[in-house]
Structure 1
């Protein structure tokens, strides 16, 4: 790569990163502006930065409660989705089951339904079970939208593990469950971890089911809770941007801490040995 090509590459890389990060950068700058300056000026930077919006975001609405609700619902959803998806992906990729393609096709088809098309039967089911305004009331529909994603991703990882390992374990007298638990699952750990992160983020960001099922303010999750930062006559953009920054920090920290494992999971098996 010559100097001119290298300069052009880094120039367009900087432009791309700036475009991607600009919304987050603008939200942060807005969150530290005085309230009056948000509506009276379009300047990027303020000469009087303040944390008043952060204080208001934490006191005007139960933001910490929303975060707790999202953590619990997303965490439970991730654990259940990974558990069921691991067994399902192992069965349809490594066991002698007829109709594997049909099963995976049905899984893919189920993920194609828009949420608005299934919100009515899901709402009726949750209501009949008496699970509205509760954690299980959200975990149940979240499983329906995250499980197909988890099954498809894990299936690709399980397929890349050499089948000779199954045969060796069978010759040693291992049952299919023992083979899965002691051989296949540990080898697919990077993929499982990556899938868990994706499922967690999908549940964390979900809005429609959370808005419909949990109408009590005590059980609202972060996306719905932030949308409630408004009054009849105005929208407190300072509070909204501050709350957005606060709730984004845990996800950013999570990704930064486990970025090596995420990259390892995404690239695992991409090169055939």
Structure 2
């Protein structure tokens, strides 16, 4: 007892060592801050310019000295030849249809590539990934000729079908990685309990794949929403999406590039994507990390 008491007394009298400053954490935070500023600076400048008065478009101050909302009114002013509300609806139709079709086809294709054994399985996967690397600009002319011959020029399907070909490889690749890491025992247990393979897929596999499926849907929607090259050549005035509409935007002043109105339109287009990511960020993170650890 005396020995324990003496030890405790010496411990209490011993000077406490100061904890070493963690320079590694500081370096990590500084690097993250630099990357964040680098990525967000163009978006911040777009928002600042959207609120500037037209006469002060090229001010170098990092904040608008003459704040106005006229630029946002100009965006929706149909008397200037702008039909931005219709353009937003067109983008929603094209991106929504592309996401739904790519997700439905991609889920079944990814499941087959991950869980089933058949000939040329790896060749099919390589072909899908190779298709995603094909330059889109090389497809504009043949698509233009094809859709002109069948009378689809200027229609929604003329943009949806090429967008599906661009988003489907990403969908298949992402979901294949997730399905491959999912334990076979779950499906086998459902089969033992009397489920068919289709029922096991619908009742067991799909619910577990919800985070990855949701993340893939978000990525596919963003890709189709931001697509410009194909839409600029295959859309008409009635089906023009916002990406093409902003490029041909007209302002209140004739023979003058409406920079502030363009920035306001860009801000409006960006808001739905940012809101979508912020609302469902937990599901997105869960989907991106799903299957990373067994």
TM-score (structure 1 length as normaliser): 0.93
Quote how far apart the aligned CAs of 1:163 are. Answer: 1.2
- Aligned to 1:22, what secondary structure does the other structure show? helix
1:54 is the counterpart of 2:72: yes
**1:120-135 alignment runs, 5 A limit:** 120-135=141-156
Counterpart among 22, 31, 35 of residue 41 in structure 2: 22
Q: Residues of 1 paired with 2:149 and 2:197: CA distance?
A: 38
Shift of 1:76: 0.8
Match for residue 271 of structure 1? Answer: 293
Please say which structure displays the higher CA radius of gyration: 2
* TM-align CA RMSD: 1.8
Equivalent in the alignment of 2:244? 224
Shift of 1:230: 4.6
Residues 148, 43 of structure 1: alpha-carbon distance in 2 compared, 3 angstrom cutoff? same
Displacement after TM superposition at 1:4 (Å): 4.0
C-alpha offsets along residues 52-106 of structure 1, whole Å, 9 cap, x if unaligned?
A: 1111112131111111111111011101000001111111111232221111011
Distance 1:164 1:3, change over 3 A: closer
Instruction: Say whether the 8 Å CA contact 1:93–1:100 is kept in structure 2.
Output: no
Q: Equivalent residue of 1:98, what SS?
A: coil
Q: Does 1:88 align with 2:132?
A: no
Counterpart CA distance in 1 for 2:174 and 2:240 is 29
Measure how far apart 1:172 and its partner are: 3.5
Secondary structure, aligned partner of 1:217: coil
Gapped regions of structure 2 (runs ≥ 5): 1-19
Counterpart of 1:229 in 2: which secondary structure?
coil
Residue 115 in structure 1 maps to residue 136 in structure 2: yes
Instruction: Select 2:97's aligned residue among 71, 76, 86.
Output: 76
After the TM superposition, which parts of structure 1 deviate over 6 Å for at least 4 consecutive aligned residues? none
Structure 1, unaligned runs of 5 or more? none
Give 1:106's aligned residue. Answer: 127
Residue matched to 1:243: 265
